[in-house]
Amino acid sequence: AVAEETFEFTAETDRVMEIIINSLYSDKDVFLRELVSNAADACDKKRFLSIEAGNAADALRVRITADPDKKTLTIEDSGVGMSRDELVANLGKIAKSGTKAFAEALGDAPDDVNLIGQFGVGFYSGYLVADKMTVTTKSMNSDKTHTWSSDAKSGFTVREEGEIEGSSGTRIVLDVKEDCSEYLEEATLRRLLKRYSEFLQFPIELYASKTTYDDEVDEEATKKARESDPDAKEVTKSVTNVKFDYEVVNSMKPLWLRPPKEVNASEHSEFYKSAFRAFDDPLRTIHFALEGQVQFKALMYVPKSLPFELNQNMFDENANSMKLYVKRVFINDKFDLLPRWLVFMRGIVDSEDLPLNVGREILQKSKMLGVIQRRLVRKSLDAFSDLQKNATEYDEFWKNFGKYIKVGAVEEQGDVQKDLAKLCRFYSTKSGDDQTTFSEYIERMPQNATKILYLSGDSREQALNSPVIQRLIKTDYEVLLLPEALDEIVCQAIGEVDGKKLVDASKDDLKDVFDDDDEDEDNGDFEELCSWLKLQLEDRVSSVKLSKRLVDAPAALTEGAFGMSPTMRKYMAAQAV
Ligand code: ADP
Ligand code: MG
């Protein structure tokens, strides 16, 4: 008989496992990501140690085999393996900081199932789908093989037993739970492996069926044919063969890790389409690495068309497509790596510093995220401003994403807001069907003029024909025409551009534009008419004044300097519903 040692799990581990097993874990799929990434980590370590020792490592790979009859799923790697002591230490207690934080967080909120969903819990996540796990492993530094086994209920056992091929490696056998048999199906495994391991650096091999078709002589048919014609050719038929073998399911090409200059447009295009379910090429590619205190590699794409998910809802939560990787392992695409106005961007961030088990809560609070975010925003802005150099491309970009840029201009501040303002376009009294930028407007401004004027309206025409701005048009003073409520909010948020204040042309103070503006002017001969009108209109207006801003129209409604425009008022009313 083999000597068997029995161990208890540490208290923390016990707690985490209990919760995994007893909670309605929303996403059981993650177990495969965890186990495969552990296997790939083990390969990474072996590769590193072999390089260090100057040895050639054996072929490093991960194999996944499902046995539907025995109801087992096996994950096998040729990585570093574990010695007896490592087995006891690594699989008997929670090792990593992320998992530890998880256990600690659970201390405060023991029943928070949501919290559980936000953490990867490593090796123990196997118990999401397995009643029992058996780990057979041989360390690089030992020729003994050990087997660890646990049903997660009563501690674990370790025996000196088992076989591992090659110099080292680990095999994990999961006795798959009755209600988890989908994880024994080839299609499920293939789908999950594609998702989780596409860009791992080692071959991930799935034991899978392969159908081949052979042509075989059809004796019967040949005989029959030759009865009538002795010289007839052999008749063949197609036969189907199903063979099982290991098949590499990942492409092992982390595009973003390659030097940006060495990745060509067609490689980007292919990757963009497969990773982000896009059907066209990206409009721009942003590929860079940040070295220094925070290290990460990033690959971002500006889509050519509005991503499908955003058609319905401008800020659809599920449309966020920035994927976070930690050391090439896909973590998830739920982190807010970008501010919401950049929700249309697609991309990948691969961090060198974050733990694989990083939780959303932890990440959202970390300074690292701030650094990453700022960098991604900066690079995006640079790309957009570069797009502006190409009128056709920018037209397209603006048509699809202009409203996101405007929202950004409202929600950001400082330099980012300034750069967003430069990207904005509006109709104006001089733009015709094209739109104009603030800087083009400023170029056309009369010397010494200090105000950029705008007027909102239900439509471009309505604003253009407003009596309020007829004198401005006549004197050739350009006015931005804002048919959308968002436009006006943008102008208010931006406040000024290059020292020129943005001012609503319907406000009653245009002193800086016309030397002889209305303000403080008495109503002269028309005093009586004005008083009479005010009496008639009662509270509907605050005052009736003689004005010089009119050209053909007899009267116009204007706003007080701090009043709200009609468009804005409508917008606010709509928001309040
Ligand atoms: P983490 O991967 O964050 O360290 P896990 O719970 O996933 O946490 O794994 C715990 C430890 O068990 C790992 O750090 C590693 O030392 C060891 N381990 C797990 N799987 C393997 C494996 N396939 N080969 C070698 N060691 C492993
Ligand atoms: Mg792990």
8-23 pLDDT, tens digit per residue, is 887 777 777 776 666 5
Residue 155 assigned as binding residue: no
- Which ligand 1 atom is at minimum distance from the Cα of 77? 23
Residue of minimum CA distance from atom 23 in ligand 1: 39
Copy the structure tokens of residue 480: 């931005």
**Site residues for ligand 1, CB cut-off 6 Å:** 34, 38-39, 42, 77, 79-82, 90-91, 95-96, 122-123, 170, 356-357
Which residues are close to ligand 2, an ion, with C-beta < 5 A?
38, 122
Pairing assessment for the beta strands 204-217 and 62-67 based on DSSP bridges? parallel
Residue 79 assigned as binding residue: no
From the CA of 358, the nearest ligand is 1
Please check whether residue 16 is in contact with residue 124, taking contact to mean a CB–CB distance below 8 angstroms.
Answer: yes
- Which ligand 1 atom is at minimum distance from the Cα of 172? 23
pLDDT at 297: 95
Give the distance from CA 576 to its chain's centroid: 30
Residue of minimum CA distance from atom 21 in ligand 1: 38
Q: Rounded to the nearest whole angstrom, what is the distance from the C-alpha of residue 25 to the centroid of ligand 1?
A: 21
**CB burial of residue 28 (10 Å; 0-12, 13-18, 19+):** middle
Q: Rounded to the nearest whole angstrom, what is the distance from the C-alpha of residue 90 to the centroid of ligand 1?
A: 6
pLDDT at 357: 61
Q: Give the type of residue at 325.
A: Y
Most informative mutation of 90, 121, 124, 133 for ligand 1 (most atoms within 8 A of CB):
90
What CA–CA distance (Å, rounded) separates 530 from 552? 19
Residue 34 assigned as binding residue: yes
Q: Which runs of E-coded beta strand occur in 60-168? A: 62-67, 72-77, 130-138, 145-150, 156-160
- As beta bridge partners, residue 181 has none
What CA–CA distance (Å, rounded) separates 567 from 241? 70
- Which ligand 1 atom is at minimum distance from the Cα of 45? 25
Q: At what angle do helices 97-108 and 11-22 cross, to 10 degrees?
A: 70
Q: Rounded to the nearest whole angstrom, what is the distance from the C-alpha of residue 82 to the centroid of ligand 1?
A: 9
Q: Rounded to the nearest whole angstrom, what is the distance from the C-alpha of residue 443 to the centroid of ligand 2?
A: 59
Q: How far apart are the first and last CA of the chain?
A: 76
Residue of minimum CA distance from atom 13 in ligand 1: 90
Nearest to 255, CA basis, from 241, 274, 278: 274
Residue of minimum CA distance from atom 20 in ligand 1: 38
The string over 313-332, giving b where at least 16 C-beta atoms fall within 10 Å of a residue's C-beta and e elsewhere, is eeeeeebbbbbbbbbbbbbe
Residue of minimum CA distance from atom 8 in ligand 1: 122
Please check whether residue 33 is in contact with residue 118, taking contact to mean a CB–CB distance below 8 angstroms.
Answer: no
- Which ligand 1 atom is at minimum distance from the Cα of 80? 25
Q: Rounded to the nearest whole angstrom, what is the distance from the C-alpha of residue 122 to the centroid of ligand 2?
A: 4
Residues sharing a CB contact under 8 Å with residue 370, sequence separation 6 or more, in sequence order: none
Residue of minimum CA distance from atom 7 in ligand 1: 122
Residue 38 assigned as binding residue: yes
Residue 82 assigned as binding residue: yes
Ranges of the chain whose pLDDT falls below 70? 1, 19-27, 52, 57, 94-121, 199, 274, 277, 330, 356-364, 508-509, 511-512, 515-521, 561-564, 566-568, 570-577
What CA–CA distance (Å, rounded) separates 401 from 301? 13
Residue 77 assigned as binding residue: yes
pLDDT at 563: 66
CA atoms within 13 A on the CB side of 384: 24
Please check whether residue 542 is in contact with residue 562, taking contact to mean a CB–CB distance below 8 angstroms.
Answer: no
